A and B are shown apart, each in its own frame.
Chain A
């Protein structure tokens, strides 16, 4: 995705009078596919071929129906669906999109949908009779993929800039990449055995209860024995987000990260400064006013930050029954604590004793300061890792270490 959000080549509006005839319809579709890929659509060759087939199947007088047809082919989830209208219009109707038209003397292929369909039909007629025309068109579509691929490369290189941009400078539309990344990290979190088994020389273990239950089908004769199998479950994630004054500039983006994880994984999200409050239900609803709600929740909190007291509250009240070997606690905080310095280490030790793995994310460069974190470091292995989290690349890199 580029910074301005303008499609790569200069477009010609399909509604514009005197639009150029569409000389390369397959190229135009390949360009559109590349444009969608630039914006995070998972569009493969098969989808691109389906788009060409749809354009061929549509009669000329229904060329406008390409929009919903292509949307059904190209979109894979709600995020794509919501982006579609804007992306489609910016590519095919640039004149309708204010500020996206540039002036240039060079001649470029038209993006008139009706002419595109017409050109595709003409091309099909000119080719060998039968299905050969269609096949060659599809093959050509695949060949022009290279063209689109180059554009996609261009898009990828532009997205590098976004990758390295600090979260604080992000635009709302960039956050869709964050959601994708959170989903990828959530998928990578290894499933763990719920119970460890010793090898048994007699082989698999019979599940007697299920075998007897299944034998009811066969009149009580256990024809199909049921075997016990190991169960694996994903770890349970808890995010503790510091929303104190010292984190004012980062808290909102950390909350967006938390929201992305809440959507991708079964995650419980808490916010704290002097006290702790759970905000998971607020993050689940699809409302833009998350920050306002969190502010409302934390409105009565006093100034300062009590990390240790908040973690104690989290451990003994909110997540008491859920903290075990499968629990992962991610603390998103700069580490400045108003509690006695030793107390944070004691609270983290209590968490570690229950098998919880703790990661600490901080926004600043270098090692986070504060006497409390110094005390934690002295203890050695209370926190698995201190990780900097200030840009998308940080999160992508961090994902490789989380398990």
Chain B
């Protein structure tokens, strides 16, 4: 599969990828190396993995990372209840039971990492928000990402039947280790350009009026140039335009107050909301003309 086909597949799965991103994904498939995608929250990192699974026709296996994530939640766990039942059954039947019988694949509960490497078909493994996991877990991942294998002390090393396509995402809340970075290809997902964001919105909200989409996206792009604590991502843009569409609007309204009431979709901190007063909103909508008009009116 070349990158043009991949790009079309992503588009069919509802994801608008630019040429560079499609090339990097093609490279990750070609070299069978994990891809680390970094970027601000809401730029479409997780959606990329889901769309990629759709485009490649593979199952998506997702591991959501969090503080305190351990091996039992991420890779495998022994099914103790079944082991206990097995022991009791053998006690009643007076049969012999060896430890090796209890620690076989039958008693192993597969968690996302093990499921990804032991599946009958290759899959897309999404390791989401790896920066939230502890450093110790990162060290464990090195074996999975480098050699596509997991070592279970009681069983030995389990190698991947099919190498999964691994996508790791990070919001950059913590510095990842060099060892992890060196095992991955890297892509920094920035906020989309105006044209790309319009494409994304049109693909996701085909029912919204064209003028509304174009004006709203231009507004969000201008908003991102403001000095905000949390810049609105693509998900926020979609939410906002969906809200405006539900209000029955065919274009961004001139009423700054009305816009301000819907800005809860875009601005998620109190400081950002208070920074954007109606005057500033008007300036963002109308650009310099608003400022000039106001100055003239005051004069």
Contacts and interface: CB of A to CB of B under 8 A. Distances in A.
Interface of A: 42, 44, 46-47, 50, 53-54, 57, 65, 67-69, 71-73, 75-78, 80-82, 183, 217-219, 221, 223, 264, 281, 285, 287, 289
Given A46-B182, A67-B20, A183-B175, 8 more contacts: A44-B182, A54-B30, A54-B31, A68-B21, A69-B24, A72-B28, A73-B27, A73-B185
B181 A76 contact: yes
Nearest to B18: A68
A155 to B, nearest CB: 20
Contact of B188 (A42, A78, A183, A289): A78
Contacts of A53: 31
25 contacts: A42-B181, A44-B182, A50-B31, A65-B3, A65-B23, A68-B19, A68-B21, A68-B27, A69-B23, A71-B186, A72-B24, A72-B28, A73-B186, A76-B186, A77-B186, A78-B172, A80-B186, A81-B186, A81-B188, A82-B188, A183-B175, A219-B81, A219-B84, A223-B80, A264-B175
A76 B184 CA distance: 8
A68 B188 contact: no
Chain A contact residues: helix, strand, loop or mixed: helix
B178 interface: yes
Contacts, number: 71
A289 B186 CA distance: 28
B82 to A, nearest CB: 10
Contacts of A47: 182
Nearest to B79: A217
A82 B178 CA distance: 18
Chain B contact residues: helix, strand, loop or mixed: helix
Contacts of B28: 72
A54 B21 CA distance: 15
Nearest to B181: A76
Contacts of A54: 27, 30-31
A75 B81 contact: no
A80 B184 CA distance: 14
A150 to B, nearest CB: 23
A92 to B, nearest CB: 16
Given A42-B182, A77-B38, A219-B84, A72 B227 contact: no
Interface in B61-108: 80-81, 84
A72 B175 contact: no
Contact of B35 (A71, A72, A219, A285): A72
Question: Which of A50, A53, A71, A72 gathers most chain B CB within 10 Å?
Answer: A72
A9 B120 CA distance: 51
B187 interface: yes
A218 B30 contact: no
Given A54-B31, A72-B186, A218-B81, A78 B38 contact: yes
Question: Which of B27, B80, B172 gathers most chain A CB within 10 Å?
Answer: B27
B229 interface: yes
Contacts of B30: 54, 57
Contacts of A69: 23-24, 27
Contacts of A76: 178, 181-182, 186
